[in-house]
A and B are shown apart, each in its own frame.
Chain A
């Protein structure tokens, strides 16, 4: 019998069943209401979303787009330039019921975590991600460090340094921790010029990779002999978890690598900004990023908990030498040259166990230095190395016989800032100069490597009562002087490319200059001599060009407050008549970390012309 009551009950039951079913079914993107769409639009404008996808304003007027260049990173075809489209595509993907490591839910765990938290009403499908889960279990960590391998001898360009991250987990030793590194993947068959050009213009792809930390220590500390600084960062467990999820998202994702601005250090700051957008770490690095500057930013934001110093092999050799008398050092060198005979000698056998240990260890490290730095491929060298270790193993002394090395008081980022403006005054002229990068021989040496110079983009303009003129522009001026001694044999060298005016005739010349030679310790400084060749174009030369060649000798002295540099050169000429000489003496006084006063005398001669001047300068670093 039909009854209104039955109808109501039936209707009520149907609604209950249907609403229950509706709650269990996944929402379709197309069925999202306007309010949700509005929420998506707002979310796509949030800094959290933008930093996670690496959107960046390019210049002042051009629009924003993602620094990620690999297409696999974007779920929307417009994703690179359109954060909203990318968000919509991501939400669309997360609404689908998909499992396994190819599912977007598994490829983008940081995005998933963020959106699931902000859009709980959409009830994203909780996918199973076996590969991600296994990987996460293995590497999840509780401490994140910024690692900074600093410069090494004979490579001034390494003063730029490199930064990487280290995640400490349950591995049991920091050597087994995960090192997260952003680097360019270059083509080994490229020649030097192609390599430089590609490196500077984004011609190489950069990838984030994860390897055991010992690989990086081996690479930097043992092979390249770079001191390593380890900075513990203050991150919460939530932040570290987000970091781990985000680097998974960057697996095999390409970023074009640009040496000057989007380099390794910049990329690491953007990774940290993705973890905590409130930090704004990468903001000030619009046009250039220097690794030590990125450390300064971390200090400013008070994100560094503590610092550990890990000395390189070369640093250790110097440290060991200082703890050994001259006769012991000499014996160490003899042992390195011939461990078989020398280990039978009275001089060695009469030593205490501790001294035997010392001489053997220094001898061994020296043989390794020879093998790596000098690329000596003498087949006997590895045998000698092994013999030295075998001898050492028999000495009844366990542990290191040397006192531990002290952490240097000055770190790389404590040095002067890398931009420099100079005001110079001579008897009849003035000059204003500017240098873009990085560190020169007369700059205060604290935090930088002695004897190393790399200057890029240095120019100056000269004013006198006649005119205002470009006096100098060096695209590049790199110098390296290393001191040769019993355990170290570096080559000293120089490269300069640019434009300069001669004081004899006020004429300019464009030039490329290279030189190589030796340096030796003398009275606390370095005495050097190099053979130099120069190709120059100028009006004063016959046919407006010449090949110049000849010696440059000099003396460089660097200390905490004072720097002094004397040099003299004489070039004979090919392709033109005449010889040129140039000599200078400079003294620099460090007023503070950001200011210097300098005095310079110069003398130049070309054929029968002679000129000299004395100038005083004020340099300001910023």
Chain B
């Protein structure tokens, strides 16, 4: 029989975890925008107490790895961009950053070409992250275009 200790905190400002949107399709959702609407992120008092992940209906071992890793090198990239639009945008504006590095690892850019890649992301920022309505699908398409036009980077498109 577990000990029952009641605790009720009525006033707090606490935020809860973000809804992860790994649907069964996994890949190719493509609809995330750069800055998700803040009001769609729900709050929950005491969320930290249970470390609840209220809105994530997917759990288990395979939800994070299923999806689009098969096929061309760029297949996993769109999935990643879906989940990291804001981080990629802010890293690209700077031409440096962790999320950008992870993208580089996913695409498989050689060490020799990484400088070219980060600089290209920064120079082409407006083209890739055009507007707040730009979806990850659009950004992915623009990224592919930009890479195709670059003689050093085109080879990574597979």
Contact = CB atoms under 8 A, between A and B. Distances in A.
A287 B22 CA distance: 35
A200 interface: yes
Contacts of B13: 154-155, 490-491, 493
Interface string B86-97: 110110111110
A400 B59 CA distance: 36
A259 interface: yes
B148 interface: no
B99 interface: yes
A203 to B, nearest CB: 10
B109 to A, nearest CB: 10
A138 B2 contact: no
A192 B96 contact: no
Nearest to A191: B45
Interface string A169-200: 00111011011010111111000110111011
A200 B95 contact: no
B51 A218 contact: no
A495 B8 CA distance: 9
Contacts of A258: 2
Contact of A400 (B49, B60, B61, B96): B96
B157 interface: no
Contact of A195 (B3, B46, B90): B46
Interface in A372-390: 372-373, 375-377, 381-383, 385-386, 389-390
Contacts of A251: 60-62
A488 interface: no
B121 to A, nearest CB: 9
Interface residues of B, number: 78
Interface string B1-38: 01111111111111101101010000000000111011
Contacts of A259: 49-50
Contacts of B20: 211, 215
Contacts of B140: none
Q: Which secondary structure dominates where chain A touches chain B?
A: mixed
A212 B37 CA distance: 23
B98 A175 contact: yes
A197 B132 CA distance: 41
A89 interface: no
A510 to B, nearest CB: 14
B50 A199 contact: yes
Given A171-B105, A386-B129, A199 B93 contact: no
Contacts of A188: 42, 44, 54-55
Contacts of A260: 3, 5
Interface in B60-116: 60-65, 69, 80, 83-84, 86-87, 89-90, 92-96, 98-99, 101-102, 104-106, 108
Sorted from nearest, which 4 A-B pairs have the closest CB atoms?
A172-B105, A393-B125, A382-B35, A398-B95
Interface of B: 2-15, 17-18, 20, 22, 33-35, 37-39, 41-46, 48-65, 69, 80, 83-84, 86-87, 89-90, 92-96, 98-99, 101-102, 104-106, 108, 118-119, 122-123, 125-126, 129, 131-132
Interface of A: 131, 135, 138-139, 154-155, 157-158, 160, 162, 171-173, 175-176, 178-179, 181, 183-188, 192-193, 195-197, 199-202, 204, 207-212, 214-215, 218-219, 222-224, 247-248, 250-252, 257-261, 263-264, 287, 357, 361, 364, 368, 371-373, 375-377, 381-383, 385-386, 389-390, 392-394, 398-400, 456-457, 475-476, 478, 490-491, 493-495, 497, 514-516
